[in-house]
Chains A and B, each alone.
Chain A
Amino acid sequence: MAFDAVLFYLFAALAVGASLLVIGQRNPVYSVLLLIASFAALAGLYVLLDAPFAAVTQMIVYAGAIMVLFLFVVMLLNVPREDAAEWDRSHPLNRPGAMRFGAVLAGLLLLELSWAVWHVSTRQPMALSETSPGSVASVAAIGRSIFTDYAFPFEATSVLILVAMVGAVILARRGQGLE
Chain B
Amino acid sequence: MPAIDPVFIVQIALIVVVFHALLLSAAGMVWAERKVAARLQQRFGPTLVGPAGLLQPFADVLKLFFKEELRPKAADKILFHIAPIISAMTAFLAFCVVPFGPPSTFFGLLDKPVPLYVADVPVAVLVIFAVASMGVYGIVLAGWSSNSKYSLLGGLRSSAQMISYELSYGMALAAVLVLANSLSLQETVNAQAGYWHLFGVPVAPRWFVFVQPIGFFVFMTAGIAETNRAPFDFPEAEQELVAGYHTEYSSMSFALFFLAEYVNMVTVSAVATNLYLGGWHLQPLPEWLGIVWWFLKLSTLLFFYLWLRWTLPRYRYDQLMQFGWKFLLPLSVVNLLVTAAGVLYFGL
Chain A interface (Cβ < 8 Å from any Cβ of B): 29, 33, 36, 52-53, 56-57, 59-60, 63-65, 68-69, 71-72, 75-76, 134-136, 139
A178 to B: closest C-beta gap in Å = 22
Given known contacts A72-B163, A139-B183, A59 and B134 CB-to-CB distance under 8 angstroms: yes
Q: Which residue of B lies closest to A73 (CB)?
A: B159
Given A56-B127, A139-B183, is A76 in contact with B156 using a C-beta cutoff of 8 Å? yes
Closest to A139 in B: B183
Given contacts A65-B166, A68-B159, A135-B122, 12 further A-B contacts (CB under 8 A): A29-B79, A52-B121, A52-B122, A57-B126, A60-B126, A60-B129, A64-B130, A68-B133, A68-B162, A68-B163, A136-B182, A136-B183
Residues of chain A lying within 8 A (CB to CB) of residue B96: none
B277 at the interface (CB under 8 A from A): no
Q: A135 — which chain B residues lie within 8 A by C-beta?
A: 122
Interface majority SS on B: helix, strand, loop or mixed? helix
Q: Which residues of A contact B156 (CB under 8 A)?
A: 72, 75-76
Q: Is B40 located at the chain interface by the 8 A CB criterion?
A: no
In the complex, 29 of the A-B residue pairs with CB atoms within 8 angstroms, ordered by the A residue number, are A29-B79, A33-B79, A52-B121, A52-B123, A53-B183, A56-B130, A59-B133, A59-B134, A60-B129, A60-B170, A63-B133, A64-B133, A64-B134, A65-B166, A68-B162, A68-B163, A71-B159, A72-B159, A72-B163, A75-B152, A75-B156, A75-B159, A76-B156, A134-B122, A134-B123, A136-B181, A136-B182, A139-B123, A139-B183
B140 within 8 A of A: yes
> Given contacts A75-B140, A139-B183, is CB(A59)–CB(B130) below 8 Å?
yes
Q: How far is A52 from B130 in the complex, measured between Cα atoms in Å?
A: 12
A36 to B141, CA, bound (A): 13
Q: Once the chains bind, are A56 and B140 in contact (CB under 8 Å)?
A: no
Distance A75 CA – B79 CA, assembled complex (angstroms): 14
For B159, the chain A residues whose CB sits under 8 A away are 68-69, 71-72, 75
Check B15 for interface membership: any CB of A closer than 8 A: no
- List residues of B (130-163) whose CB comes within 8 Å of A's CBs: 130, 133-134, 136-137, 140-141, 143-144, 152, 155-156, 159-160, 162-163
**Inter-chain contact A69/B122, CB cutoff 8 Å:** no
Task: Scan B203-215; emit 1 where CB is below 8 A from any A CB, else 0.
Answer: 0000000000000
**A65-B126 Cα distance, complex, nearest whole Å:** 14
Shortest distance between the CB of B271 and any CB in chain A (Å): 15
* B127 CB to nearest A CB, Å: 6
Are the CB atoms of B126 and A68 closer together than 8 Å? no
Q: Which residues of A contact B136 (CB under 8 A)?
A: 68
CB distance from A54 to the nearest CB of B (A): 10
Q: Inside 8 A of B79's CB, which chain A residues have their CB? A: 29, 33
